[in-house]
């Protein structure tokens, strides 16, 4: 029984790791769990969001020091959205899966 429960919890954890995170609704713990966002960036996101929700990715990039187009692409690839939308410069399908699509040329992501 214990092993079955642990397997279910591991599966649930891996599924949630690939679930999308809306930046305008994310809590501090949600943000800290995203690869590429540390405590400092989490604090800056939350502080800027207290003033007003982010309208879109350019608004997030403009208002949060340390987030530029390159980091926005990485965050979008991790499943982060702003206003329900992935970053326009992110690879197709990245926000839906939380993963970068495989590169058929190199055999890697």
Residues with Cβ < 8 Å from 49, sequence gap 6 or more? 23, 24
Provide the pLDDT confidence category of residue 36 given band limits of 50, 70 and 90: confident
CA angle 65, 66, 68 (to 5 degrees): 100
Segment 48-93, tens digit of pLDDT = 999 999 999 999 999 999 999 999 999 999 999 999 999 997 555 5
pTM for this prediction: 0.66
Sign of the Cα torsion 28, 31, 33, 36 reads negative
Calculate the average pLDDT of the chain. 78
Question: Are the beta carbons of 22 and 81 closer than 8 angstroms?
Answer: yes
Q: By 3-state DSSP, what share of the chain in percent is helix, strand and coil, each rounded to 5? A: 50, 5, 45
Residue written as token pair 């800027």: 48
């Amino acid at each position: 029984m214990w092993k079955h429960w642990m397997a279910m919890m591991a599966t649930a954890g891996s599924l949630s790791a690939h679930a999308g995170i809306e930046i305008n609704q994310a809590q501090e713990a949600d943000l800290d769990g995203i690869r590429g966002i540390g405590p400092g960036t989490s604090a800056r996101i939350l502080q800027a969001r207290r003033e007003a929700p982010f309208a879109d990715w350019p608004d997030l990039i403009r208002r949060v020091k340390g987030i530029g187009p390159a980091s926005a692409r990485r965050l979008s690839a991790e499943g982060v959205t702003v206003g329900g939308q992935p970053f326009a410069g992110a690879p197709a399908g990245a926000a839906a899966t939380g993963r970068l699509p495989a590169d058929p040329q190199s055999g890697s992501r």
